[in-house]
Amino acid sequence: MVYKKRFDGRKFDELRKIEAEVGIIPNADGSARFKIGKTEAIAGVYGPKEMHPKFLQNPKKGTLRCRYDMISFSVNERARPGPSRRSQELGLVIASALEPVCLLNDFPKLIVDVFIEIPQADAGTRCAAICAASMALADAGIPMKDLVAAVAVGKIGDKICIDINKEEEDYDGPGGATDIPIAYSPVENKLTLLQLDGKIKDEDLVKAIKEGIKGAKKIYEIQKAALKKKYKVNEVLNE
């Protein structure tokens, strides 16, 4: 029942090493890369632009469309290229985690396309995708209330662990593994994604969400710093 030490030696509330960068795809209107441990997501944003076919246009608000794709070399056992049930579901999940912060009413009928590629996966790819996409949307100048930061919390054996990797996700020792991806907007103080794969007691779920929010707040600062770096905000302020 006791998970004493994390497989990779991290503290239970320690995130993996994070790298975040904005403006990596010159051809896109906005783009970003977010790496957490060995999991990496890159996102390119195109739009707002006219939506085709026209009957899909929403006259009241804009549409946010996300495509999630794992590159075939991203995992040990080659991922089959092209859309799958999982990638289609993740595209929808990612869009619904980002929609609450996007001011879609500002561009009725139009569409914003977000393309996300996963060059490397070691669990938590939907969360890395949300982090990258949220920075890329901001980089594209899409009107937003806030950024969204996301992280997968786990209950591994008897311990709540932040930012679980694949080895932890696959833990089949006593107590098993429960995977809880969450996305959080600090300005709105809202969870925009909460999923749960496994079993957990109510009180542990509350603890997991609290830990997740703490982790998301740390990620949020890194996302903001990456955007400020591209737009040289600190240089301008210190002029």
Side-chain half-sphere exposure of 104, counting CA atoms within 13 A: 20
Stretch that binds ligand UDP, among 59-67, 100-108, 124-132, 199-207 (CB under 6 A): 124-132
By CB under 6 A, residue 79 contacts ligand UDP: yes
List strands edge to edge, sheet with 159-162: 159-162, 149-156, 177-185, 190-194
- The residue among 40 and 113 lying less far from ligand UDP, judged by its C-beta, is 40
Chain residues 181-200 in contact with ligand UDP, contact rule CB under 6 A: 181
**Cα–Cα distance measured from residue 29 to residue 7, given in angstroms and rounded to the nearest whole number:** 40
Strand, coil or helix: 74: helix
Query: Is residue 192 a contact partner of residue 100, using CB atoms and an 8 Å limit?
Result: yes
Interface size with ligand UDP, residues (CB under 6 A): 13
- The residue among 69 and 122 lying less far from ligand UDP, judged by its C-beta, is 122
Stretch that binds ligand UDP, among 14-22, 59-67, 120-128, 224-232 (CB under 6 A): 120-128
Indicate which single residue of 121, 147, 183, 193 sits in contact with ligand UDP (rule: CB under 6 A). Answer: 121
Stretch that binds ligand UDP, among 47-55, 116-124, 185-193, 203-211 (CB under 6 A): 116-124
- The residue among 63 and 178 lying less far from ligand UDP, judged by its C-beta, is 178
Indicate which single residue of 109, 166, 190, 218 sits in contact with ligand UDP (rule: CB under 6 A). Answer: 166
Indicate which single residue of 41, 51, 104, 123 sits in contact with ligand UDP (rule: CB under 6 A). Answer: 123
Query: Is residue 44 a contact partner of residue 136, using CB atoms and an 8 Å limit?
Result: yes
Stretch that binds ligand UDP, among 122-130, 143-151, 154-162, 203-211 (CB under 6 A): 122-130
- The residue among 44 and 181 lying less far from ligand UDP, judged by its C-beta, is 181
Cα-based distances in Å from 211 to 131, 153, 180:
17, 7, 11
Least Å distance, CB 124 to ligand UDP, is 5
Query: Is residue 65 a contact partner of residue 95, using CB atoms and an 8 Å limit?
Result: yes
By CB under 6 A, residue 163 contacts ligand UDP: no
**What is the full DSSP assignment across 183-214?**
EEETTTTEEEEE--BS---HHHHHHHHHHHHH
Helix (H) or strand (E) holding 68: strand 63-70
47: left (phi over 0), alpha (psi -120 to 50) or beta: left
Indicate which single residue of 45, 46, 100, 125 sits in contact with ligand UDP (rule: CB under 6 A). Answer: 125
**Cα–Cα distance measured from residue 9 to residue 109, given in angstroms and rounded to the nearest whole number:** 50
Least Å distance, CB 136 to ligand UDP, is 18
Give residues in contact with ligand UDP (CB under 6 A): 75, 79, 86, 121-126, 152, 166, 169, 181
